[in-house]
Structure formats: C-alpha cells, structure tokens
C-alpha cells in the first residue's frame, strides 16, 4: 500500500516548498476533463502479449530527463511529438519500418549507434543517449538471461504493489528512492509508469493484479511546474532563484526531494477529495491528466533541472 503518512511528514517538514491547500481545491474545480485515456490505443503493431510487455520495459527504461533537449521532436503519422512522447513514437515508427524488432535475441545485438539512430530526427536526438542505451541494454540482458522464467514470474504477481517491488528489485535502475530527515521516500516514478503500461497492455497482468489503485502519482518535472504556476506550490526564494536561473539542482538534495515529495502529497490530497465526491480515479490516472495540461500553463519559470535517470 502507498504510505501517505511519509508524504505528509515530508510536507510538514519541508523548508523550501509550501503547499497551499485552498489552491488545490480551486485547481480541481477548474479542470474540465477528468477522463483518463491510455496513450497507446492502437496496438496492432504488436503480434503478441509478450511483445507488448518487452516494449513497455524498453520504453520506461529510457524514459527520463528531457529538459535538456527541448529542440528535439519527431513526426509520426502527421503529428509532431516532443519529450517522452517523441521517445515512444520513435520506437513505434522504428517497429513500423522493421528497424526495431521486438525479439530479445535481436535486441541484445543492437549497437549503441543503431539504437541512437532510432531517435534521430532532423539531425537532432535527445540528450543522454549513452545512458539511455546502457539502461536499454541492461533491461534486455536481464530479460534474456531469465528466459521464459521472466514471464512466469511476471504472470505470478497478484498486486500492483508486488509488481513494483518485482521491477525495482530485478532491474536496479528502476529503484528510485530517497532519504529525507530519517524517512525513506519510495518514488519509483518509472516503475509506476511501467506498471501502468503493463496493466493497460497485458491482459494477463491486468487480470492478475485487478487494479493499480495502491500506487502514488509519478514525481517528475512537469507537474511541479504546473503546481507552482497555479499557486498550489510556493517556493522559498533560494529555490525559486535556482530554478529561474536554470541552476542544476542535485539529485537527492533536500530541494529536489521536497519538490518531488510534495508533488505526490498534493496528488493524494486531490485523490481523496475526488473519491469522496464519487469520482472514481486513481493517482496514476490523475497524474497523467494533470501532466497533459502542461501545454496550457503560461509561465516563464522553467522546470527544476536535475540530471538523473529516475524521471
């Protein structure tokens, strides 16, 4: 189960991030669409359920840190995509063009250059491609080494929480946690996104785990910016100046942990309010809905800049 008490503790102890509770409720009242739709509705590109699972693991293994490549985009079927969406659709385009075959033996042989070329568009590719390739390679090698046992283990899991634990213990690069004033905060942003992928794409996993209601939201870059722009967050001047000047904020620093932890805490306050008002939605779905509003937010303050593989 998600530990709301540790998020509440973090919020109460925060020195750099203040949460305005009243602004949370006014923000929710202004949201005109609380309907969640999963991004990948057309799965005809995949032949089997196992292909969908491997694709999900690949996507979330390399889904991090896009603030350093704002100029990178790609076009797929007439639509332009940026950031993580461009990453996912670059993979789909490569599958369409038979340049990326979802077969573990084949994937384990892909060179860094071949992998990077998938994401080139108009001569530009996302930053940190070396790091993305290493994590892709590690993920594929773990799956290949386990063989059929990998799917047996996945299909034996009966809850969303257990599935997150399996992912973070089997693949170290998904294990995203921080220590804050004596408490451990389990963020696991990419692991939670992966569970959401698996729930939506794998009928076997969806049948086994039933729901993903026990997971938190996904602490990233975009949602804190939305919360700051709407007054839900108020930052101490020292933090605000760092963000405004685009100064790097260290991973696992107090500032960064407070931004991420308070993001999750606010989402849980929202979930409790919505559920109490008979709106059936979970934290992962709400997180995604809020994330999609980022393009409507007019604010000159950039996202906080932390260079890491976790979000």
pLDDT tens for each residue of the chain, 311 residues long = 788 999 999 999 999 999 999 999 999 998 888 999 999 988 889 999 999 999 999 999 999 999 877 789 999 999 999 999 999 999 999 999 999 999 999 999 999 999 999 999 988 999 999 999 999 999 999 999 999 999 999 999 999 999 999 999 999 999 999 999 999 999 999 999 999 999 999 999 999 999 999 999 999 999 999 999 999 999 999 999 999 999 999 999 999 999 999 999 999 999 999 999 999 999 999 999 999 998 787 778 899 999 999 99
- Listing DSSP states for 206-243 in one string gives HHHH---TT------SHHHHHHHHTTSEEE-HHHHHHH
Cβ atoms of residues 286 and 267 within 8 Å: yes
pLDDT tens-place string over residues 157-201? 999 999 999 999 999 999 999 999 999 999 999 999 999 999 999
Helix (H) or strand (E) holding 49: helix 49-61
Q: What is the Cα–Cα distance from 277 to 29, expressed in whole angstroms?
A: 12
* Neighbour-count burial of 148, counting CB atoms closer than 10 A to its CB (0-12 exposed, 13-18 middle, 19+ buried): exposed
Torsion sign over Cα 37, 39, 42, 47:
negative
What's the start-to-end Cα distance of the chain, in Å? 22
* Cβ neighbours, 10 Å, residue 283: 21
Q: DSSP secondary-structure letter at 294?
A: G
Domain ranges of the chain: 4-36+216-296, 49-209
């Amino acid at each position: 189960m998600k530990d709301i008490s540790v998020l509440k503790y973090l919020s109460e102890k925060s020195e750099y991030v203040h949460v305005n509770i009243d602004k949370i409720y006014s923000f929710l009242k202004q949201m005109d669409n609380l309907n969640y739709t999963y991004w990948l509705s057309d799965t005809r590109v995949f032949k089997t359920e196992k292909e969908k699972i491997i694709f999900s693991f690949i996507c979330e293994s390399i889904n991090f840190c896009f603030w350093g490549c704002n100029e990178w985009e790609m076009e797929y079927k007439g639509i332009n995509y940026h950031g993580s969406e461009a990453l996912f659709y670059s993979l789909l385009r490569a599958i369409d063009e038979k340049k990326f075959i979802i077969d573990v033996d084949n994937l384990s042989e892909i060179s860094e250059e071949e992998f990077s070329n998938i994401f080139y568009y108009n001569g530009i590719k996302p930053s940190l491609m070396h790091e993305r390739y290493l994590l892709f390679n590690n993920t594929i090698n773990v799956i290949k080494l386990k063989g059929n046992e990998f799917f047996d283990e996945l299909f034996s899991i009966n809850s969303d929480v257990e599935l997150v634990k399996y992912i973070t213990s089997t693949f170290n690069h998904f294990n995203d946690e921080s220590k804050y004033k004596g408490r451990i905060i389990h963020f696991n942003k990419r692991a939670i996104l992966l569970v959401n992928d698996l729930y939506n794409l794998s009928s076997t996993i969806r049948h086994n785990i039933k729901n993903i209601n026990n997971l938190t939201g996904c602490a990233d870059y975009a949602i804190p910016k939305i919360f700051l722009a709407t007054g839900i967050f108020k930052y101490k001047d020292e933090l605000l100046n760092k963000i405004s000047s685009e100064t790097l904020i260290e991973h696992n620093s107090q500032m960064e942990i407070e931004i991420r932890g308070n993001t999750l805490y606010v989402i849980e306050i929202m979930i409790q309010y919505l559920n109490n008002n008979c709106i059936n939605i979970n934290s992962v779905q709400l997180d995604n809905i809020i994330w999609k509003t980022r393009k409507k937010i007019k604010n000159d303050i950039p996202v906080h800049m932390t260079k890491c593989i976790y979000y």
